[in-house]
Structure 1
Amino acid sequence: MNRWQILNAEPENYSGQAVDLLSTVGDVRLAQQDRDSLLTALTGVDALIVRLAFQIDEQVLAAAPRLRAIVTATTGLDHIDLAAAERCGVKVLSLKGELDFLRSIPATAELTWGLLLALTRNIPTAFGSVLQSEWQRDRFKGHDLAGRRLGILGLGRIGHMVARYGLAFGMRVLAYDPTPQLWVEGVERVSSPVELFRQADVLSIHVPLNPETVRLVGKSELDQMPPGSFLINTSRGDILDEVALLDVLNSGQLAGAALDVLSNERSDSLTSSPLIRYAQTHSNLVLTPHIGGATYESMAATEIFMAKKLVDYLKSLEKNG
Structure 2
Amino acid sequence: MKLAVFSSKPYDKRYIEAARSAAAARGAASPAARPASADIDIVFHEFALEEDTVILAKGADAICAFVNDSLSAPVIEALAREGIKAILLRCAGFNHVDLVAAEKAGIMVANVPSYSPEAVAEFAVALIQTLNRKTHRAYNRAREGNFALDGLMGQTLFGKTVGFIGTGKIGVATAKIMKGFGCRILAYDPFPTPAFEGIGEYKGLDEVLAESNIISLHCPLMDSTRRIINEEAIAKMKPGALLINTSRGGLVDTKAVIRALKAQHLGGVALDVYEGEGSLFYDDHSGEIIHDDVLMRLMTFHNVIVTGHQAFFTEEALMEIADCTLRNIDEFVVTGTCKNSLTKDLKLVKRDSLPVRGV
2: CA distance between counterparts of 1:23 and 1:147? 50
Aligned partner of 1:278 in structure 2 is: 298
2:76 to 44, 47, 61: 61
Cα shift at 1:278: 2.3
Aligned partner of 1:130 in structure 2 is: 142
Aligned partner of 1:111 in structure 2 is: 123
2:279 to 257, 267, 290: 267
- CA contact under 8 A between 1:93 and 1:310: conserved in structure 2? no
The AA in structure 2 aligned to 1:192 is G
1: CA distance between counterparts of 2:147 and 2:324? 47
SS of 2:224's equivalent in the other structure is coil
SS of 2:92's equivalent in the other structure is coil
Aligned partner of 1:7 in structure 2 is: 4
Q: Which has the higher contact order (CA 8 A, sep 6+)?
A: 2
Aligned partner of 2:31 in structure 1 is: none
- CA contact under 8 A between 1:156 and 1:180: conserved in structure 2? no
Aligned partner of 1:19 in structure 2 is: 20
Count the aligned residue pairs: 309
Cα shift at 1:57: 2.5
- CA contact under 8 A between 1:69 and 1:90: conserved in structure 2? yes
Per the normalisation by structure 1, the TM-score is 0.88
The AA in structure 1 aligned to 2:5 is N
- CA contact under 8 A between 1:201 and 1:226: conserved in structure 2? yes
1: CA distance between counterparts of 2:186 and 2:329? 39
1: CA distance between counterparts of 2:39 and 2:102? 23
The change in CA–CA distance for 1:38 and 1:243 in structure 2 (over 3 A counts) is same
The change in CA–CA distance for 1:11 and 1:59 in structure 2 (over 3 A counts) is farther
- CA contact under 8 A between 1:43 and 1:63: conserved in structure 2? no
Aligned partner of 2:347 in structure 1 is: none
Structure 1: state its 5+ residue gaps: none
Per the normalisation by structure 2, the TM-score is 0.80
2:224 to 209, 212, 222: 212
Aligned-pair Cα RMSD in Å: 2.2
The AA in structure 2 aligned to 1:38 is T
Residues 37-91 of structure 1: CA deviation (Å, up to 9, x unaligned) = 7333111111111222421224433443210111112111122222222222211
How do 1:42-121 and structure 2 match up within 5 A?
A: 42-64=57-79, 65-96=82-113, 102=115, 104-121=116-133
Taking only the aligned residue pairs, the percentage that are identical comes to: 27
Structure 2: state its 5+ residue gaps: 24-35, 281-288, 338-359
2: CA distance between counterparts of 1:206 and 1:293? 13
How do 1:136-155 and structure 2 match up within 5 A?
A: 136-155=148-167
The change in CA–CA distance for 1:77 and 1:152 in structure 2 (over 3 A counts) is same
